[in-house]
Structure 1
Amino acid sequence: MLIREATAADAEEIAKVHVDCWRTTYKNIIPSDFLDKLSYEKRKDLWIKNISKDENYVFVAENKDGKIVGFADGGKRETNKVNNSGDLTSIYVLEKFQRMGLGKKLIKELFLKFEELGFNTIFVEVLEDNISRFFYEAFGAELLKSENIKIAGADLNLLVYKWKDISPVLLSK
Structure 2
Amino acid sequence: MQIRTATEADASAIARLHLSSYRTAYRGLLPDGVLAAYDPAEREHRWLERLHDPSRTTFVTTPALVAFAEIGPSAVPLTGELLALHVASSHWRQGLGRALHSHALKALTGRGFQSATLWVLDGNQRACAFYEAAGWAFTGEARRRHLRGTTVHELRYRRELTP
**C-alpha contact (below 8 Å) 1:31/1:152 kept by paired residues:** no
Q: Give, in whole Å, the separation in 2 of the partners of 1:139 and 1:166.
A: 12
Q: Calculate the TM-score normalised by the size of structure 1.
A: 0.87
- The structural deviation recorded for 1:89 is 0.6
The Cα offsets for residues 129-150 of structure 1, whole Å up to 9 and x where unpaired, read as 1121111111111111123444
Report the residue type matching 2:147 in the other structure: I
Counterpart of 2:66 in 1: which secondary structure? strand
Pairwise CA distance, 1:2: 1.6
Pairwise CA distance, 1:21: 0.4
Q: Which runs of 5+ in 2 are unaligned?
A: none
**Map of 1:161 onto structure 2:** 157
Write the deviation string for residues 28-85 of structure 1: whole angstroms up to 9, x where unpaired. 11111111121221111111111111110100013xxx331010001014xx1x2211
Amino acid at match of 1:124: L
The number of equivalent residue pairs is 161
TM-score by length of 2: 0.92
**Residue of structure 2 in register with 1:116 after alignment:** 110
Q: Does 1:32 align with 2:32?
A: yes
1:69 aligns with 2:63: no
RMSD (Å), alpha carbons: 1.6
**Structure 2 Cα separation of the partners of residues 72 and 120 of structure 1:** 19
Equivalent positions of 1:75-94 (< 5 A) are 75-77=72-74, 80=75, 82-94=76-88
1:134 — aligned with what? 129
Show structure 1 runs of 4+ deviating over 3 A.
Answer: 147-156
Q: Does 1:151 align with 2:147?
A: yes
- Sequence identity percentage: 29
Structure 1 spans left out of the alignment, 5+ residues: none
Separation in 1, partners of 2:122, 2:53: 29
Change (3 A) 1:156 1:43: closer
Assess if the C-alpha contact under 8 Å between 1:30 and 1:151 holds in 2: no
Q: Distance in 1 between matches of 2:79 and 2:55?
A: 13
Q: Structure 1 residues 46, 113: closer, same or farther in 2, change over 3 A? A: same
Aligned partners of 1:156, 1:37: CA distance in 2, in Å? 15
Q: CA deviation at 1:151?
A: 3.4
